[in-house]
A and B are shown apart, each in its own frame.
Chain A
Amino acid sequence: MSTLHTVNKSPFEKSSMESCLAYAKAGSSVLLYEDGIYGAIKGTTVAEKVTAKNGVNFYVLGPDLKARGVSEDKVVDGIEIVDYAKFVTLAAENDKVQAWV
């Protein structure tokens, strides 16, 4: 049973991403979008938690990076940059979608 977790708030503003990381099991996926994209930036304390989380696939929504002026080279290695079409694919491929709103 795989789950797509979605996080739409900055980890520097809310604890939803932290909760998500605590619950996400190996084999599941986490998509960071809206202000959640700040959790995908290199060199932060949150980035360390992302890279330490083994077996979980991380994604970040490209249009939301662009909307905030965050260039793709600032994204943590191993986090895949996706578009809305891929967001839909992820929602379909996983058994359920859990929004950490």
Chain B
Amino acid sequence: MKFAIQVNEGPYQHQAADSAYQFTKAVLEAGHEIMRVFFYHDGVNNGTSLTTPPQDDRNIVNRWSELGKKHDLDLVVCVAAAQRRGIVDEGEMKRNGKSAQNIADGFRISGLGQLVEAGIQSDRLVVFGD
């Protein structure tokens, strides 16, 4: 079965970023497919490479990157939500004249159409957030 995941909450806020990760992992362990993870609203903060939690804490951003790499996941950050919160890839950096880019490994920035497409093409869309 094809699952799509929507994450609306940033890391280290409440628990949604953790729940979404645990659920995504369980979906893959059960042999289902994750067709996309869409990060929306404050959820885009799951995709900044500048996150540096204390060493004895979980690294939520790296955890997504590693899971993404292992399972070839499509980790998509909403562009409008990302612009508001300072999440930038190389294209956005040039387009908006910014001094740096900070998109985390394995994430890409795209539009809300990707969420709509995920809702249509997946069998289940599961939402995590506040």
Contacts and interface: CB of A to CB of B under 8 A. Distances in A.
Taking residues whose C-beta sits less than 8 angstroms from the other chain, chain B's interface range is 20 to 34
B19 A92 contact: no
Interface in B78-126: 123-126
Interface in A79-99: 84-85, 87-89, 91-92, 96-97, 99
B29 interface: yes
B22 interface: yes
B23 A101 contact: no
B15 interface: yes
B124 A97 contact: yes
The interface residues of chain B, by DSSP majority, are classed as mixed
Nearest to B18: A34
Contacts of B26: 84-85, 87-88
A88 B19 contact: no
Contacts of B22: 63, 84
Nearest to B15: A34
Interface in A28-49: 33-35
Interface residues of A, number: 18
Contact of A97 (B14, B25, B30, B126): B126
B73 interface: no
Contact of A92 (B1, B8, B16, B128): B1
B130 interface: yes
A89 B27 CA distance: 9
Contacts of A91: 3, 124, 126
Nearest to B9: A101
7 contacts: A8-B19, A63-B22, A84-B26, A88-B30, A92-B124, A97-B125, A101-B129
Interface of A: 6, 8, 33-35, 63-64, 84-85, 87-89, 91-92, 96-97, 99, 101
Closest 6 CB pairs of A and B: A84-B26, A99-B127, A34-B15, A88-B26, A101-B129, A97-B126
